Structure 1
């Protein structure tokens, strides 16, 4: 049987799980803010996490931040990342992450530098999901590997939502009928190695349910097989209900 569970209050049950979630958020983050004393810069899409777990940021050329770092090559800094659902749901915020440490420029900067680079040496990190905050050990963050679907999740969810509503409808057969009472609309809201999360939209409030894969994905190429397994199980549910 395909496992069905109400989406837990927080997926960050341990610091290792939280580290993976935070690394995954950074892979596809569109909303990323870098703060140093007195200065704030939006750097979404200008960042990457190095193999040793340091956050590398391309600084906006001729910005206040870059000008600040021409005079002070090392400074305390905070990075805030927001995980937003790519599908049009009422509450799009799925989680928030905060990283603090020392921001160090990779080379001496001059006023005319184009796209200078700085690196955040991580001191502390934390992940907040559904009001629950988990502290992430810097070493755990450094060794964590992002979810295999992190880079493609947004495109996959939007494609499923926009072009395959009948597939979502079929998957709803896996949800107990009592949980579907009063539901006005169902949308896919999250996809990771563990499964697909559907959001059941109610007149007052929403409910998330996770359709779990048989085994956690190790590679994006395995996604099709797991989705097909969910659909086969959904077909079985329809057959049993029709009896």
Structure 2
């Protein structure tokens, strides 16, 4: 019996690190369900998997987390860079222990965040806002590649995709200015997906992902590179190859 070979794709820990590095929309909720989900003023996931979270001083979670550690979950949503009817292309859930930081710890945490991600909202900590830390017990990443649990130590060992910082800009440019290229890539689609609305969905060191919006449902398709790439020059070579020599690996 022939089995369909799965296309090369980033390891789940790498996909999780990439979602965390993008810093998408976040929602925080205590695991006991006593409080509704809240959108933090600011959140930042560190390479260790721990997260610094800023909330208004008056939020009930701040007071609860000063008295004892709480179990809580931080959800990060990775949104596609182009408008889609189903815009979330990946989710990362970090579950662990939440506690409020004392003033000294809060200053140190804000300085650490500022070194990676300067943000004026950090200046509100100590002036109407409080800093909390979520220490990870488990992480789960979910996207078109599947839903996978990631141990914190594997998350810490992984690196974000090398194109994570530029992917959104490149894909928006592809969508707005190079529909001809998208059309060439769509030529790799199987017959049953022809005629759908094809959109650039993702880019990583292993390949491109397209979203095909059909009348009844959406399909995500991975078009694999011949080898993993790590530089814009290597990426350009692979894109030219894909436009002239199809190498299709399909999912959905």
- TM-score of the alignment, normalized to the shorter chain, above 0.5: yes
2:250 matched residue in structure 1? none
Does the C-alpha gap of structure 1 residues 209 and 39 become closer, same or farther in structure 2, counting only changes over 3 Å?
Answer: closer
Number of aligned residues? 219
Shift of 1:194: 1.0
Does the C-alpha gap of structure 1 residues 166 and 68 become closer, same or farther in structure 2, counting only changes over 3 Å?
Answer: same
Shift of 1:172: 2.2
Distance between the aligned counterparts of 2:222 and 2:144, measured in 1?
15
1:113 matched residue in structure 2? 126
Comparing 26-35 and 123-132, the one that deviates more: 123-132
Q: 2:52 aligns with which of 47, 50, 56?
A: 56
Does the C-alpha gap of structure 1 residues 18 and 91 become closer, same or farther in structure 2, counting only changes over 3 Å?
Answer: same
2:15 matched residue in structure 1? 21
TM-score computed with the length of structure 1 as normaliser:
0.75
Shift of 1:22: 1.4
Any idea what the Cα deviations from partners look like across 1:171-210, whole Å, max 9, x if unmatched? 223335x2454x1321111211111112223222233222
Q: 1:148, 1:192 within 8 Å by CA — same for their partners in 2?
A: yes
Distance between the aligned counterparts of 1:191 and 1:163, measured in 2?
17
Does the C-alpha gap of structure 1 residues 202 and 56 become closer, same or farther in structure 2, counting only changes over 3 Å?
Answer: same
TM-score computed with the length of structure 2 as normaliser:
0.73
Aligned pairs (5 A) from 1:1-80: 17-36=11-30, 37-38=34-35, 40-43=37-40, 46-57=42-53, 59-64=54-59, 67-68=62-63, 71-72=66-67, 74-80=69-75
Shift of 1:101: 0.9
Please state whether the residue corresponding to 1:40 is helix, strand or coil. Answer: coil
Comparing 129-138 and 30-39, the one that deviates more: 129-138
Aligned pairs (5 A) from 1:187-202: 187-202=199-214
Please state whether the residue corresponding to 1:33 is helix, strand or coil. Answer: strand
Q: Which runs of 5+ in 1 are unaligned?
A: 235-243
1:207 matched residue in structure 2? 219
Q: 1:6, 1:210 within 8 Å by CA — same for their partners in 2?
A: no
